[in-house]
Amino acid sequence: MNKKAKTKRKNSFSNSKLLFTLVSIILGLLVGAIVLSLTGYNPIEAYGKLVEGIFKSPRNIGWALVNSTPIILTGLGVCFAFQTGLFNMGAEGQFIIGSTVGFLMGYLLKLPPVIHVIVTIIVALLAGFIYGGLAGFIKAKFGIHEVISTIMLNWVAFYFQNFIVYRYQKPNSMGTFDINDSAKVTLVTNASQKFDGFFGKFFRAPIHLGIILAIVSVIIIWFILEKTSLGYKLKAVGLNREASEYGGIDANKKIIQSMAISGCLCSLAGVTQVMGYTYSLPLLSAMENFGFDGLAVSLLASNNPIGCIFSGLFLGSLKYAGSNLQRTMGVPSELISIIIGTIILFTAIPLIFRIIKAKVNKKKNRKAGNNA
């Protein structure tokens, strides 16, 4: 009976999260509609164009998927850190490390096709693992909050990529040479010549191996968090570090492991983006925001690994469709950022209240301990 009650309570909690997310999306769209109306645009027509921008043709659906793939993975990386009580603001830097190392391996190595792909991905994952783990080590060893260290490490990665771009810059270009064909992971090339109908148009977008790896990664992370002792220990440290240490868990070690795995996932987003879509590195004048979009994906998914797939597809498609809105109606694409920001704001409200409640309870416990 007790087990049934727990299951029922867990299901109702999950449903309430999903309901709140849906309400947040609706409220975000309503705010967007108000902004559209105030600036002289018809919101119904504008949202119609947004939907059309995604579903007008199989090619549009394919491009929406391409845009969603990297932020599903960075969202999963941020989600993993959140699940273990850590706030990874370094997803952008870890993405850049993955893409930069992926480019170097893809451009400099001369290997057979399949081996080249495997080696490039593994080396990029190791780089992300080390880069994320570095932030965890700084927190575990010196007590420096991961938000500070990861933000600083973002800029280290940013300038490292530009250094590499200058080193391998293509003449008369703002980017590098392309990686070797043996390192590319685009699933179908010249799709119109290989397929007819829906798939011929769908694969005109550069659908690549990243989407498959993203789905596999989601399943693996869900399994680790829910079905393994490692996941239990990581979440225990996140919930209460002092209690977990009292129970015999090495909290410092788990912090490093958590940030390393998170960095690995974000790095996977970067390396697959280079190998499957861009094939080269651009000279960065500003952050590309794949990591920060991943933060939004994780929040919208209520830090649920499975939910990252759906929230990533939603936000990625929304951002892609924004270009159609601008092209057909002249609506600034920044409106999409307003809608996304509003959705995330409403989604984050329960999290803010939980943080405030936790701090209040902590102060009460301290006072009670002092009085005793």
Interior angle at CA 66, CA 62 and CA 67, nearest 5:
120
Each residue's pLDDT tens digit in the chain (372 positions)? Answer: 455 544 555 555 445 677 777 887 888 888 888 888 888 888 888 888 888 888 888 999 999 999 999 999 999 999 999 988 898 999 999 999 999 999 999 999 999 999 999 999 999 999 999 999 999 999 999 989 899 999 999 999 999 999 999 999 999 899 999 999 999 999 988 776 777 788 888 998 999 999 999 999 999 999 999 999 998 998 888 877 788 888 888 889 999 999 999 999 999 999 999 999 999 999 999 999 899 899 989 988 888 999 999 999 999 998 888 877 777 777 777 777 787 788 777 777 766 666 666 667 667 766 666 666
Sequence-distant (6+) residues with CB within 8 A of 186 are: 206, 207, 208, 209, 276, 277
* Angstrom distance (rounded) from CA 175 to CA 30: 40
Tell me the whole-structure pTM to 2 decimals: 0.88
The Cα-based distances of 154 to 122, 287, 288 in angstroms read 21, 9, 11
Q: Partners of 176 in the beta sheet? A: 169
* Angstrom distance (rounded) from CA 185 to CA 174: 23
Sequence-distant (6+) residues with CB within 8 A of 212 are: none
**Each residue's pLDDT tens digit, 111-137:** 999 999 999 999 999 999 999 999 999
* Domain coordinates in residue numbering, the chain: 37-346
Interior angle at CA 270, CA 226 and CA 125, nearest 5:
60
Q: Which CATH architecture has domain 37-346?
A: Orthogonal Bundle (1.10)
The Cα-based distances of 192 to 2, 67, 189, 275, 364 in angstroms read 58, 21, 9, 21, 66
Rg (CA), the chain: 22
